[in-house]
Amino acid sequence: MSVRILRKPVFWWGVLFALTWLLSVYGKTIATGLDMKWLVKYPTAWVFPLKGMISDTMKWLVEDEGLFTMTTRAISWTVAQPYDLVRALLADGFDHGQGRDAVQILPPLSWITVIAMVMALGHYAKNWGLAALVGAAFAYLAIFGQWQSAMITLASVLIAVPIGVIGGLLLGILAYRHPRFDRMLTPVLDLMQTIPIFAYLVPILMMFGFNPVSALVATVIYAMPPMVRITTKSLNAVDPEIKDFGNMTGCTRAQMTWRILVPAAQNSLMIGVNQVIMLSLNMVIIASMIGAGGLGFDVLASLRKLDIGGGFEAGIAIVVLAIAIDRLSQAFAERAHVTAPKGTPWLARHPRTIVVAIVLIAALVIGYILPAFQTYPKAQTLTTGAFWDDSVKYLNINFYDQFEAVKIFFLKGFMLPLKWFLLSVPWPWMIGVVVLIGWRFGGWKLALMNLIMAAFIVSTGLWVKAMISVYLCGASVILACVIGIPIGVLAAVNARAGRIIGVVIDTLQTLPSFVYLIPVVMLLGIGDFTAMIAIVLYALAPAVRYTAHGVRSVSGDLIEAGVVSGCTRRQILTRIRLPLALPDILLGINQTIMLALSMLVITALVGSRDLGQEVYIALAKADTGRGIVAGLGVAFIAIIADRIISASARNARVRYGLEAAHG
Amino acid sequence: MNALPKLACRHVWKLYGPGAESFLQANPDPTLDGIRSAGLIPAVRNANIDIKDGEIFVIMGLSGSGKSTLVRCLSRLIEPTAGELRFHGEDLRAMSNKEMIEIRRHKLGMVFQHFALLPHLTVLQNVAFPLSIQGRKKAEAEARAREVISLVGLEGREDYFPRELSGGQQQRVGIARSLAVEPELWFLDEPFSALDPLIRREMQDEFMRLQGMLKKTIVFITHDFDEAIRLADRIAIMKDGGVIQVATPEELVLSPASDYVEEFTRHIPRAKVMSVGAVMDKGAQGSGAGILLTTKIAQVAEEVVASDTPLSVVDKDGTPVGAISREAIIPILARAGG
């Protein structure tokens, strides 16, 4: 009997937790008693000066006039050309001459033309409904005075997206053709996706300077990895018969790629394109910190001035733009080919092109006479800034005590104990725990990897900040799961609730991470609690979505078997649906953790003292080494969490026979 | 008929797993257990077949028997681990990639189980695709494509997309596409297996009609023994990667090489595969205009049973060679369903 208990996982976890708890309580006393203070506080003298080394290398690279600087200048020039063109077209107009002597020879596209264009695209991609939606979104931008900034943001997206898509496609094809390249690329992509964006803003800033090109480069680096992955995955998923057909027809390798594989994978590739668009939009906002301007800059400037109304308006403009672009690109991805009637003349087949051309010329000509046709008149713009300011004031005056009570309840009852617990466990034991868990789920390989990564964090002197990051993310993830998993279950078992929740979650995912900060800061001021709420809002979506998917996809036969065996609804949920959905729920938690970590740096704006803040400071001081090392720290935390949870999800799937033991 | 087979396949092996090639060099003729205990997966074992000019050669086997792998070895879609392939006497395995591309572009065609149509192209573009891959002019390719589309009875559907068609129609597109280049050797990999039984029957008739016109050399893969019997000039039966027997449908039914083969033939109505020549009374005299030696019994059963005297059997020159009586065919008809 006792032996059986010893073998149970509950026992294993119980002992591990109890030991950790004891050490967190008595660690300090033991360390003092043994005269080994280094157990609880990693000595500064032991810190490996990695960040200085990276900074020096970077400095040497940038200051040394050679191949490196030539390359960066070449990239800079190449990216700047199309960007300047699109920006001139949408926002600035075409000038002749330099500086003050500049004469505008052609104005930018009139707001009416742009709205006509996006409506035409909406109609082409889907129907009048979509045309109306995107038309209304762009009209909103004009009416609420966000046009100029929105067009600058749009210009960045329009340049970043093709570069990201084409680059991702080519790399993906290469990885598909050469499995060895694929194996080399995967860890690089992992890093690109997990290092916080801010960490590589610094070196990019040093290489390309404070200008839109830096922002574009950062955006592309951030937005490309999913395209690479989706390309490789969807090319691999092309029906082998179609590949055989290509070979039997005598396709050369190029014909095979461009005439068979890529078109056959078109639909899944479009999902990648949509991802690139959404990530670019998210990043363009963040990149406004290094010179992209546009809506992101407006939000940032307002946040700094604590101009709640202005920030909120720019924030909503971002949301509106994001939703319009997202719906458009999704419609393009799902657009079905239709049988075109034969023999219709060109004019009849391209009605939208004609309409847009007419609007373009008309707006241009009339715009010279009536400026309102060129630029939306300032006098007619609406602003809701004052309204938001007033509502926040009202809420703060009348409900301050309530907000404070909630805040203090969470801080005292949940966040601070967790923080204290994590900070007081001696670091060698914490590393040991991470290694043990790695060993339990993924064998010695995972254990070794965890050891190396944890050792990196401690040896670069980032332990305390890393633990604060873990605490902040951990608290947010726990809260997100407590809220998200029940919502996901509800969405799965109740079709009507599911539809509503689906729309809300879709919208939440479309919003750039920045946007979440604004309302939370408005109501709760700054601090850890605010940071946690913002992270929860941002990271909630995957917990809900994966849970709903997992619960929904439990096979109907099993449910019927349950019903026939006389299960109540509750029993069906707890005995059948939830256990079988466990692997999916775990993956959802995994995604939630990833999003939470990526939000860290942004919450540094509201004063959390974690690795995110470290990265943010590095950005302010243009300290490459500091930024990269802290960024790697965040990435390593993310990778450790990801590998452990993926391994346990795999174990669960193997246990249920959904996946072969080694495959 | 040409003496040289169109495609000859000698001692072809395909083993999956690490070190398959060196294993086969060390043991040129391993047993099934030998292969498995070496950790390799036998997909094709020592296949020897000749595809003769103008015949329908059916490769029949259950799933996992290696028939799909074998047909892909024949066209070098899968590189065999060992063995020899001769196309018109030329060594196919010695050919460079470039030569292979040329042969596939002009001499081979293939139809797939799940049609393998390109979803983003219309029917016309799908059928014209192999021609445009060869670099032919668009107008020329489309003219030829229209020709084959009407051959398979799909006129008027040229501008449809594959998913707007039914399964049977999609496979007609697949057939038209593979015929567009006028292949010398036509591979059909379970072309009708994904279709409903009624449509399958209709497509088999359609296929026989086309073959009556085109007289292609065909390698046809199926897991359906009835289909094999219906269509084949000769059948190769595969099991565990090995070819168990190669014979005409009649030979298979009359003298199955093993219990495994017999198991398949048991349910086949004998009268449909056995010819008059196999049961006639040799040298005997009969009445009537003379039944051709190779006629299937089922086709003349009614006539023979109705006649009180044996009927005369003639060879293809019209010379009487024997007679067939009611008594000879009744036992065959009686065990129609096995």
* Annotated domain spans of chain B: 52-81+96-264, 271-334
A90 and A151 Cβ atoms separated by less than 8 Å: yes
- Distance between CA A298 and CA A555 in Å, rounded? 49
Six token digits for residue B143? 């003219």
| HSE-CB for A392 with a 13 A CA cutoff | 21
| HSE-CB for B163 with a 13 A CA cutoff | 6
Three-state secondary structure call for residue B243: strand
Task: Looking at chain B, list the stretches that DSSP marks H as alpha helix, in order from N- to C-terminal side.
Answer: 20-26, 32-37, 67-74, 97-106, 123-133, 138-151, 167-179, 197-214, 225-231, 249-254, 259-265, 270-273, 276-279, 297-306, 326-334
Amino acid at A392: V
pLDDT digits (tens, 9 = 90+) for A291-350: 767 888 888 787 777 777 777 788 888 888 888 888 888 887 777 655 555 556 666 667
Within a domain: A154: yes
Asked if ipTM goes beyond 0.95, one says no
Amino acid at A508: L
CA A114 → CA A356, A601, B159, distances in Å? 9, 35, 34
B52-81+96-264 CATH? 3.40.50.300
Which domain CATH number covers A556? 1.10.3720.10
- Distance between CA A139 and CA A113 in Å, rounded? 11
Task: Work out the number of other CB atoms within 10 angstroms of the CB of residue B244.
Answer: 17
- Distance between CA A222 and CA A220 in Å, rounded? 5
How far A328 CA sits from the closest chain B CA (Å)? 20
- Distance between CA B196 and CA A399 in Å, rounded? 69
Task: Work out the number of other CB atoms within 10 angstroms of the CB of residue B32.
Answer: 12
Domain containing A313: what range? 79-95+103-337+348-382
* Residue at token pair 């023994």: B225
**Candidate ranges A12-16, A20-24, B42-46; pick with highest mean pLDDT:** B42-46
| pLDDT greater than 70 at residue A198 | no
Three-state secondary structure call for residue A156: helix
Among all residues of chain B, which has the CA nearest to that of A266? Answer: B120
Element (H, E) at A166: helix A147-177
Do A136 and A278 sit in the same domain of this protein? yes
A175 and A185 Cβ atoms separated by less than 8 Å: yes
For chain A, helix, strand, coil in percent to 5 are 85, 0, 15
Of A245, A252, A266, the CB nearest to B112: A245
Q: Residue B77: its chain A contacts at CB < 8 A?
A: 244, 247-248
A255/B133 CB distance under 8 A = yes
Q: What percent of chain A has pLDDT over 70?
A: 94
Within a domain: A13: no
Do A191 and A299 sit in the same domain of this protein? yes
- Distance between CA A499 and CA A552 in Å, rounded? 13
Total structural domains within chain A: 2
Residue B218 DSSP class: E
Among all residues of chain B, which has the CA nearest to that of A256? Answer: B133
| pLDDT greater than 50 at residue B204 | yes
Mean predicted confidence (pLDDT) in A602-611: 78
A339/B164 CB distance under 8 A = yes
CA angle B242, B246, B251 (to 5 degrees): 140
Please give the pLDDT value at position A3.
55
Beta bridge partners, B313, equal B291, B322
Do A363 and A409 sit in the same domain of this protein? no
Please give the pLDDT value at position A344.
63
A559 vs B110, higher pLDDT: B110
Within a domain: A3: no
- Distance between CA A284 and CA A156 in Å, rounded? 7
CA angle A269, A274, A279 (to 5 degrees): 125
Task: Work out the number of other CB atoms within 10 angstroms of the CB of residue A188.
Answer: 12
Q: Which of A131-140, A257-266, A610-619 has the lowest mean pLDDT?
A: A610-619
B86 vs A389, higher pLDDT: B86
Beta bridge partners, B58, equal B220, B235
Please give the pLDDT value at position A314.
83
How far A403 CA sits from the closest chain B CA (Å)? 56
Do A207 and A107 sit in the same domain of this protein? yes
Among all residues of chain B, which has the CA nearest to that of A246? Answer: B130
Which of B79, B110, B134 to mutate: most A Cβ within 10 Å?
B110
| pLDDT greater than 70 at residue A659 | no
Please give the pLDDT value at position B14.
93
pLDDT digits (tens, 9 = 90+) for A417-468: 998 888 888 888 889 999 999 998 888 889 999 999 999 999 988 888 999 9
Please give the pLDDT value at position B59.
96
Amino acid at A148: Q
- Contacts within 8 Å (CB) and 24+ apart, A172-177: A172/A227, A172/A228, A172/A229, A172/A230, A172/A231, A172/A232, A172/A235, A173/A231, A173/A235, A173/A257, A173/A262, A175/A228, A175/A231, A175/A232, A176/A231, A176/A232, A176/A235, A176/A236, A176/A261
CA A333 → CA A137, A315, A401, distances in Å? 20, 27, 49
Please give the pLDDT value at position A178.
92
- Distance between CA B253 and CA B269 in Å, rounded? 9
Q: Residue A342: its chain B contacts at CB < 8 A?
A: 159
* Residue at token pair 């168990």: B244
- Distance between CA B124 and CA B161 in Å, rounded? 9
Taking every pair of Cα atoms in chain A, the longest distance, rounded to a whole number of angstroms, is: 93
Query: Average pLDDT over chain A, rounded to whole?
Result: 83
CA A645 → CA A439, A542, A589, distances in Å? 13, 14, 8
Do A486 and A368 sit in the same domain of this protein? no
List the one residue out of A319, A222, A307 whose CA is nearest residue A516.
Answer: A319
Query: Average pLDDT over chain B, rounded to whole?
Result: 89
Which of A239, A247, A249, A262 to mutate: most B Cβ within 10 Å?
A249
A645 confidence band (pLDDT: 50, 70, 90): confident
Q: What is the dihedral of CA B228, B231, B233, B237, to 10 degrees?
A: -10
Do A415 and A328 sit in the same domain of this protein? no
Task: Work out the number of other CB atoms within 10 angstroms of the CB of residue A475.
Answer: 25
How far A601 CA sits from the closest chain B CA (Å)? 43
> Touching check for B111 and chain A: CB below 8 Å?
no
| pLDDT greater than 80 at residue B154 | yes
Which of A238, A242, A248 to mutate: most B Cβ within 10 Å?
A248
Order of all β-strands in the sheet with B281-282: B281-282, B320-324, B311-314, B287-292
Q: Which of A4-13, A232-241, A479-488 has the lowest mean pLDDT?
A: A4-13
The rounded Cα B25 to chain-centroid distance in angstroms is: 32
List the one residue out of A282, A286, A289, A632 whose CA is nearest residue A469.
Answer: A632
Element (H, E) at B44: strand B41-51
pLDDT digits (tens, 9 = 90+) for A518-571: 778 777 777 888 889 989 988 888 889 889 888 888 888 888 888 888 888 888
Residue A90 DSSP class: I
A647 vs A209, higher pLDDT: A647
Say how many residues make up chain A: 663
Within a domain: A73: no
Do A376 and A404 sit in the same domain of this protein? no
Amino acid at B225: F
Give the pairing type, strands B234-239 and B287-292.
unpaired
Element (H, E) at B200: helix B197-214
> Touching check for B330 and chain A: CB below 8 Å?
no
Assign domain B271-334 one CATH number from 3.40.50.970, 3.65.10.10, 3.40.50.620, 3.90.1280.20.
3.90.1280.20
Do A596 and A497 sit in the same domain of this protein? yes
Terminal C-alpha separation, chain A: 35
Letter string b/e over residues A422-456, b meaning 16 or more CB atoms within 10 A of that residue's CB: beebbbebbbbbbbebbbbbbeeebbebbbebbeb
Do A504 and A475 sit in the same domain of this protein? yes
Within a domain: A49: no
Element (H, E) at B188: strand B185-189
Please give the pLDDT value at position B106.
92
Do A414 and A365 sit in the same domain of this protein? no
Task: Work out the number of other CB atoms within 10 angstroms of the CB of residue A179.
Answer: 11
List the one residue out of A202, A197, A199 whose CA is nearest residue A219.
Answer: A197
Within a domain: A661: no
A99 confidence band (pLDDT: 50, 70, 90): low
Within a domain: A595: yes
Six token digits for residue A561? 């078997």
B81 confidence band (pLDDT: 50, 70, 90): very high
Do A556 and A630 sit in the same domain of this protein? yes
- Distance between CA A162 and CA A347 in Å, rounded? 29
Q: Tell me how many residue pairs between chain A and chain B have CB atoms under 8 A apart.
A: 65
Please give the pLDDT value at position B289.
80
Do A596 and A526 sit in the same domain of this protein? yes
Six token digits for residue B61? 């086997």
The interface residues of chain B toward chain A in range 148-167, judged by CB-CB distance below 8 A, are 159-161, 164
Task: Looking at B7-109, list the stretches that DSSP marks H as alpha helix, in order from N- to C-terminal side.
Answer: 20-26, 32-37, 67-74, 97-106
A317 and A144 Cβ atoms separated by less than 8 Å: yes
Within a domain: A642: yes
Q: Residue A237: its chain B contacts at CB < 8 A?
A: none
A122 and A386 Cβ atoms separated by less than 8 Å: no
Task: Work out the number of other CB atoms within 10 angstroms of the CB of residue A346.
Answer: 8
